[in-house]
Structure 1
């Protein structure tokens, strides 16, 4: 089984990460049926709302995940009371489907337990069937459902 370590992201690492993370989120929104332009606007608005103070936004944690010396992905969570919410987790494109997503999520669970958190939540786009399967295998259960209809 792969084990990764989470290293806190630095302020200098944040801006390049943010640009790519926001672009990735826009692509996910577009894959859910919105135009590329509307998806980019939605992503910019979402990130601005969630991170008004950027890297210094209270209660948000950003990590890169490493396997040895190799960076394999990243994790962004917000802590609220006894709960962590995963806003973004990703594996480097050339390392996907090799167990790193599972390892990052298990590292997130360890961090939560080490910090006396009792619940972890996340949102996943339904078109991301690989992530859905992984989260179900890890014991996540559906707690709500967003729906949309194109007009």
Structure 2
């Protein structure tokens, strides 16, 4: 099984990551049924609300994941009380399906334990069957469900 170490992002690393992460989020929103334009606005609004102070927004933590010297992904969590909420986790495209998603999530769990956090949560888009399967394998259970109907 792949293993990774989490290295905190620097502010300089955060800036390009932020732009790419917002664009990817817009794509996921669009895949859930919004127009590309509405999804882009939604993503911009969401990131502005979640990160009003960008890199220094209190409670938010940003890491790159490494296997040796090779960057294989990233992780963004927000800590509230005893809970870490995963806002974004991804594996670099050229190393997907090699166990790095699992490894990043296990590293997140290890970080949570080391920081006395007792719960980890996340949102996963319904269309992302691979991620849903991974999270279920890791012991995550469904705690809610959003539904929509196009009119």
TM-score range, shorter chain: over 0.9
Matched residues in 1 for 2:94 and 2:13: separation? Answer: 20
Aligned residues: 151
Matches within 5 A, 1:18-33: 18-33=18-33
Matched residues in 1 for 2:86 and 2:65: separation? Answer: 14
Give the match for residue 142 of structure 1.
Answer: 142
Matched residues in 1 for 2:23 and 2:30: separation? Answer: 11
**Deviations along 1:79-135, whole A, 9 cap, x unmatched?**
000000000000001111110000000000000000000000000001000000000
Matched residues in 1 for 2:96 and 2:132: separation? Answer: 14
Asked if 1:43 is matched to 2:38, the reply is no
Stretches of structure 2 lacking an aligned partner (at least 5 in a row): none
Give the match for residue 128 of structure 1.
Answer: 128
Matched residues in 2 for 1:147 and 1:67: separation? Answer: 38
Q: Secondary structure at the match of 1:27?
A: helix
Give the match for residue 77 of structure 2.
Answer: 77
Give the match for residue 34 of structure 1.
Answer: 34
Matches within 5 A, 1:51-70: 51-70=51-70
**Deviations along 1:8-46, whole A, 9 cap, x unmatched?**
000000110000000000000000000000000000000
Q: Secondary structure at the match of 1:125?
A: coil
Question: CA RMSD, aligned part only?
Answer: 0.3
Stretches of structure 1 lacking an aligned partner (at least 5 in a row): none
Matched residues in 2 for 1:93 and 1:45: separation? Answer: 26
**Which consecutive segments of 4 or more residues in structure 1 shift more than 6 A?**
none
Deviation at 1:50, TM superposition (A): 0.1
Q: Secondary structure at the match of 2:107?
A: helix
Give the match for residue 114 of structure 1.
Answer: 114
